[in-house]
Amino acid sequence: MIVRETDQHFICIEQNHHAHVAKQIISQWKSYFLAEDPLAEDVLYAVEQHDVGWHFFDKQPIWNDNKNHPYTFIDLPVLLKTVLYTNGVDIVERRNPYAAALCSAHYTKFLQKYEIKEVQQYIEKEELRRKNILQAYPEVDEATFAKHLALVQLADNISLYICLHEAGENLLKHRYFKNGIYIPDVLDKNKVKFISAHWTNENTLQLGNIERVQSFSVYLQERFVSKKLINEDGILASYEQTSPTTKKIQFNIL
């Protein structure tokens, strides 16, 4: 779950939805980043499905009693994450093995810092999974895989930016985005390091330092879950009683 907080509400975005939005976003740059790439659709599928392991989990959010808010993708206990990540890659592998290898690498990057035995076992298992999958793709060298993985990461970053910020608010930046939206090194031909992002109004985000494409729009689904209702009925009932709202966001590229 991706969560923002106001005085009266927790604004909740399901991660699988965020991933589908990420695909819509990065697809605008398909002809630039993936021109004549025979695995282009596999990469886009990895972007779209990279959070599928959270799909059912996010339907019933869990309360973090230590921080007094719903657990998010940031603070969910790490061993639970390994279960969700494994489930997600299992699902993707049955449909598209190359996309699964990208999702696997995307997840393990998040967990490298943990020295917990179970996490290290998870990382080793995923390394073996990727090795076995990639044996069927001898045309994919290390540089190609790194570029494809970077596109998954970039798409994730841009989509997360719109999920973690109030539309129209430019002063309060999430700690992930203090300097802008990070561009993985293998995609950063101009060595700018960050895409600049600026809301011009409550519906329009302007991006700079990235290849120019035509303006486009995405639709983001959010649930404004009342804190008052949570206090009365609990997080699960409150979430299920709250219908999602849809917000249109237009991207303009400098």
Residue 91 burial class via C-beta count within 10 angstroms: exposed 0-12, middle 13-18, buried 19 and up: middle
Q: What is the pLDDT of residue 202?
A: 94
pTM of the shown model:
0.97
Residue 12 to residue 241: CA distance in whole angstroms: 13
Q: Identify the three-state secondary structure at position 205.
A: strand
Q: What is the pLDDT of residue 212?
A: 95
User: Has residue 115 been placed in a domain?
Assistant: yes
Q: What is the pLDDT of residue 210?
A: 96
User: Has residue 142 been placed in a domain?
Assistant: yes
User: Has residue 124 been placed in a domain?
Assistant: yes
Q: What is the pLDDT of residue 254?
A: 92
User: Has residue 242 been placed in a domain?
Assistant: no
Q: What is the pLDDT of residue 117?
A: 97
Which positions of the chain have pLDDT values less than 50?
Answer: none
Beta-carbon contacts of residue 116 (< 8 Å; ≥ 6 apart):
78, 79
CA dist 189 to 40, 45, 220, Å?
Answer: 19, 24, 30
Residue 61 is part of which domain span?
2-179
User: Has residue 250 been placed in a domain?
Assistant: no
User: Has residue 253 been placed in a domain?
Assistant: no
Residue 111 to residue 81: CA distance in whole angstroms: 9
User: Has residue 226 been placed in a domain?
Assistant: no
User: Has residue 143 been placed in a domain?
Assistant: yes
The count of structural domains within the chain is 1
User: Are the C-beta atoms of residues 122 and 111 closer than 8 Å to each other?
Assistant: yes
